[in-house]
Structure 1
Amino acid sequence: MDETDFIIVGAGSAGCVLADRLSASGRYKVLLIEAGGTDRRFFVHMPLGYGKLYFDPSVNWLYKAEPDPGLAGQRDHWPRGKVLGGSSSINAMVYIRGNRKDYEDWAAAGNSGWGWDEVLAAYRAMEDNEAGADAWRGAGGPLFISANRRGLHPLVGDYIAACQATGLPYNADFNGENQEGVGGYQMTIRSARRNSAARAFLRPAMRRGNLKVVTGAQVTRVLIEGGRAVGVEYRRGNAVLQARARGEVILSGGAINSPQLLQLSGIGPGDLLQSLGLPVVVENDQVGANLTDHQGINYTYRMKVPTYNQELRPWWGKVLAGLKYFAGGHGPLAKSINHGGGFFRTSPELDRPNMQLYFQAFSTLLPRDGERPILNPDPFPGMSLGLSNCRPTSRGEIRIASPDPLQHPKITANAFSTEHDIEEMLLAVKYLRHIARQAPLAGLIAEELRPGPAVVADEDLVADIRARSGTVFHPSCTCRMGAVVDARLKVRGVEGLRVCDASVFPSIIAGNTNAPSMMVGWKGAELILSDAP
């Protein structure tokens, strides 16, 4: 049995930041417990290698959602990181903070300390942006962020010009004063290697003697005595072990694992816990509820000009790409496939963008199940224009299916379960086609392959949305502030227990969720330290 000051469950985006910040002063002993293993893997560190990790059980939980009527009855694949760095070690590395009004909504909902000014200060403190510091960006912090302005595919310029032809402004920084517009994405990439939360925060912290990291250890329940969390039980190999905390237990398992662990520990919907024979320590129907996620779809085109398909499909192209990468950190392997993107509104009446764009000079029409074929694209020049909704109104839930802590929880996404979400997606895909019809992009397109020119009627477009959409891997809000935790991230009804990850978002932000998850870890550490003796 270990005894320490703080126990952190989960070495993901938030957990790595917590481990760094809580151990920095040297005053406290910190134990970080991670179910996965080391991040020292080639395809973790090579930026485009994330395609190899999409179905890799050695680094991925490989969750499956329940059959979803909103997705034409399909079971969507939900990859989540099971490795040091969590999902920041297997994601597409796009760095987006979200819209400032998202955080103003957080504060307006009664979550003091989480308004735009407060989170901006946290972002600027933790960032080291390659583009330099200004009123919005940070410099000198532990997290290097690539400005991603060099080595872009030539089609990125044509994509930006086509978007501008529709009226979208050029935006050099989606994390700056305004989010709306089109441009290149900032990336968590440093020196041609993935800059995960593990690399940026945890690895430096692991040199400290007061931080202990245990891998290959799955926490099965929080130990609660007299209404206070005093430690955790975990399995490592065939052993069942315990660790006890003099201070606090902090759950950082993410939007799936944190509510799962609370429920396994007797904190959650009373009827569910009783039906599974688990004791009800704190009854709270909101644990695992309010699951919110962005849903995305790609429109795919055959091109008249070369794309990354020609570089990455043939064996000699793979060899050349490898030589470029190993010789100087250049070429397609050194970047995410999402070189460009943007944010737009489906109606001018909206006060902020409600759709996110993705541009890929690459295509694949292979089935969704099986290896994600980023490194084995179509045998012809192809391009993808993608989008995802920023502020969906559909809500799902996470509920344990068994008292067995090693069994995956039941994920009910309820994608596109509201008319609002379908109506705005319909407007959005029409806008994708509007972009594709603009010069200079239009002159470079040979034909639309998916959904194809025959799909024109609204009902057919909606059917296509349901058949081909899926998660863009941003689950959140399942332990949200104001319902499961308070604004200081303390679990209601239990002393000494907090949740600190994307599950505490009061509402989902507009954009990729890795940056906000790290910010929650940064601010969470401040709250914990301010309460510590």
Structure 2
Amino acid sequence: MKENQYDYIIVGAGSAGCVLANRLTEDSDKKVLLLETGGSDKSIFIQMPTALSIPMNTKKYAWQFETEPEPWLDNRRMHCPRGKVLGGSSSINGMVYVRGHARDFDEWHAGGADGWHYRNVLPYFRKSETWAFGGDDYRGDQGPLGVNNGNNMQNPLYSAFVRSGVDAGYFETDDYNGARQEGFGAMHMTVKNGRRWSTANAYLRPAMARPNLTVVTHALVHRVLLDGKTATGVRYEQGGKVHDVTATGEVILCAGSIGSPHLLQLSGIGNREVLEQAGIGVNHELPGVGENLQDHLEFYFQFRCKQPVSLNRRLDWWNKLKIGVRWILKKDGLGATNHFESCGFIRSKAGIEWPDLQYHFLPAAMRYDGKEAFEGDGFQLHVGHNKPKSRGFVHVQSADPKQPPSIRFNYLQQEADREGFRDCVRLTREIISQPAMDEYRGAEIQPGEQVQSDEEIDAFVRQAVESAYHPSCSCKMGTDELAVVDPETRVHGISNLRVVDSSIFPTIPNGNLNAPTIMVAERAADLIRGREPLQSADVPVVMDEQWQARQRPGNARRAVT
């Protein structure tokens, strides 16, 4: 085999690409090239969990994309960072491990992604992880991905939040990634031995010891090379020099929900009108490329804390230094957690079958850049409506691969999404007003008690919501006219080309996206290798049997009218 010739070329060393690099090189006779635009992930700010806000906001480690003005958010431009480093977005994310609800994957299957229902994907979730508390029918105990609960909710605010959810009539769930997602409980994170356990640490580093894997960093891929309707390789630039490399097997795009549709469009694959406007010749018309874009929004519900127990008193430079030194020496303490150690998943109203609202609880009141929101003690809930109806797009702007694409999510375009955020405000106030929070709950800082009517809530949300950094669904999997890949992850109409990342989700799951992205890559690896899929898992999924009639089990009517 020639030096610039490989069996598989993987574009993007992120959450999916690192998984594929590992699994495909398990076949020692297969030569694999992994291309990544970014560089090393060995920075302390990436590896130390508590420093999560730094790499996300650093140009060296993340594409700092910005949306077009969002019409339903008062024309705000929204920040959309994507990983540009080994590990991709798993090296810059919040490390929260949420698989999504079982019904999310049944929804994929029913929508045309045949075979991607829950019983088929659960074995791949199990294969990918080692759960700190041991494996069972739902959790894995032999996988590369370390998952735990950080500091096991030592701060009393975490458990008070869980109790407040129970006081309000909701379930308590001992494992939202297990039989029952709905309810309040401990939150899980991808941390192992005190370090961020990105896919670079979990999957790529072990694979880099294999002679059949070549990893090239600082490589900007220009386009996929085509011979008619067959992918033959890619063209990339490194250090000012352009290289063409050949794939005798397949080219696999793992560049994420912004990068993968953009690369397809740069290669002349996509909507004819979009390509022609950008001055790109049409090699293959595929109208769904870059469409169907979805994301989660969230805002911070902030309260003052009456007890001196919040993390706000640890945000000065001296305490941060002590936390950092302890982490360097021992890999434990407050440096070894993302601080999101309890959470909740609830349904916004009766008639919704599975949760559509999510809470991340933080025992501090701060901004995403890690700075204090106000002086004194506080706590906050990151809350959002997780099953949006609004859809956006990623559109190439130029044949120049260095020019970013046009991105617009059309956040809150649909009335159902706006209604979901009104429910967020009213249900959250009710939860935090429960007796379990009495000794901690101070004044409401944000939104503020003056925000009450639908109009006032809508105005607040338009100004306050931020992306939860979960862009997805822009190269959807299925068989309809907007589908980009088939249920085998192959690009419709192009041979030897696949997309494997969160862009192929047909709909966005109820939760953070790192875990399902890793699952997709694990399952895709078996599809690519022609292996028999793992045996399906027919396990119970615990739901509220009266979901059609009630919003929560402790209350037979909708709680907020």
Q: Which residue of 1 aligns with 2:451?
A: 455
**Aligned positions of 1:408-487 closer than 5 A:** 408-482=404-478, 483-487=483-487
Q: Which residue of 2 aligns with 1:313?
A: 315
1:377, distance to aligned residue in structure 2 (A): 5.7
Q: Which residue of 2 aligns with 1:220?
A: 222
Amino acid at match of 2:491: V
Q: Distance in 2 between matches of 1:360 and 1:478?
A: 31
**Aligned positions of 1:347-386 closer than 5 A:** 347-364=349-366, 372-374=368-370, 378-386=374-382
SS at match of 2:358: strand
Q: Distance in 2 between matches of 1:445 and 1:230?
A: 61
Whether the 8 Å CA contact 1:312–1:375 is kept in 2: the answer is no
Q: Which runs of 5+ in 2 are unaligned?
A: 533-561
Whether the 8 Å CA contact 1:4–1:30 is kept in 2: the answer is yes
Say yes or no: does 1:514 pair with 2:514: yes
**Aligned positions of 1:129-208 closer than 5 A:** 129-148=131-150, 150=152, 152-208=154-210
2:385 aligned to which of 360, 372, 389:
389
1:351, distance to aligned residue in structure 2 (A): 0.7
Amino acid at match of 1:431: L
Whether the 8 Å CA contact 2:150–2:339 is kept in 1: the answer is no
Against the structure 1 CA distance between its residues 311 and 27, is the aligned structure 2 distance closer, same or farther, given a 3 Å change threshold? farther
Amino acid at match of 2:51: G
SS at match of 1:80: strand
Q: Distance in 1 between matches of 2:118 and 2:311?
A: 41
Say yes or no: does 1:127 pair with 2:123: no
Amino acid at match of 1:325: W
Q: Distance in 1 between matches of 2:518 and 2:16?
A: 5
Aligned length: 526
Whether the 8 Å CA contact 2:150–2:338 is kept in 1: the answer is no
Cα RMSD, aligned residues only = 1.5
Amino acid at match of 1:3: Q
Whether the 8 Å CA contact 1:131–1:147 is kept in 2: the answer is no
1:99, distance to aligned residue in structure 2 (A): 0.6
Q: Which residue of 2 aligns with 1:260?
A: 262
CA offset digits 1:398-423 (Å, max 9, x no partner): 00111111111111110000001001
Whether the 8 Å CA contact 1:151–1:331 is kept in 2: the answer is no
SS at match of 2:231: strand
Q: Which residue of 2 aligns with 1:345?
A: 347
Whether the 8 Å CA contact 2:50–2:336 is kept in 1: the answer is yes
Whether the 8 Å CA contact 2:67–2:79 is kept in 1: the answer is yes
Q: Distance in 2 between matches of 1:271 and 1:395?
A: 19
Amino acid at match of 1:448: E
SS at match of 1:398: strand
Using the size of structure 1 for normalisation, the TM-score is 0.96
Against the structure 1 CA distance between its residues 244 and 288, is the aligned structure 2 distance closer, same or farther, given a 3 Å change threshold? same
Q: Which runs of 5+ in 1 are unaligned?
A: 366-371
Whether the 8 Å CA contact 1:300–1:383 is kept in 2: the answer is yes
Using the size of structure 2 for normalisation, the TM-score is 0.91
1:332, distance to aligned residue in structure 2 (A): 2.0
Q: Distance in 2 between matches of 1:277 and 1:373?
A: 38
Q: Distance in 2 between matches of 1:9 and 1:263?
A: 15
SS at match of 1:506: coil
Q: Which residue of 2 aligns with 1:368?
A: none
CA offset digits 1:311-360 (Å, max 9, x no partner): 43223322332343234333222101312111000112211111111101
Say yes or no: does 1:527 pair with 2:527: yes
Whether the 8 Å CA contact 2:151–2:336 is kept in 1: the answer is no
CA offset digits 1:103-147 (Å, max 9, x no partner): 111111232221111100111112111111111001111112114
SS at match of 1:5: strand
CA offset digits 1:246-280 (Å, max 9, x no partner): 00000000100000000000001101212222110
Q: Distance in 2 between matches of 1:110 and 1:487?
A: 8
SS at match of 2:398: coil
Q: Distance in 2 between matches of 1:226 and 1:319?
A: 58
Q: Which residue of 2 aligns with 1:235?
A: 237
Whether the 8 Å CA contact 1:361–1:382 is kept in 2: the answer is yes
Q: Distance in 2 between matches of 1:28 and 1:508?
A: 33
Q: Which residue of 1 aligns with 2:54?
A: 52
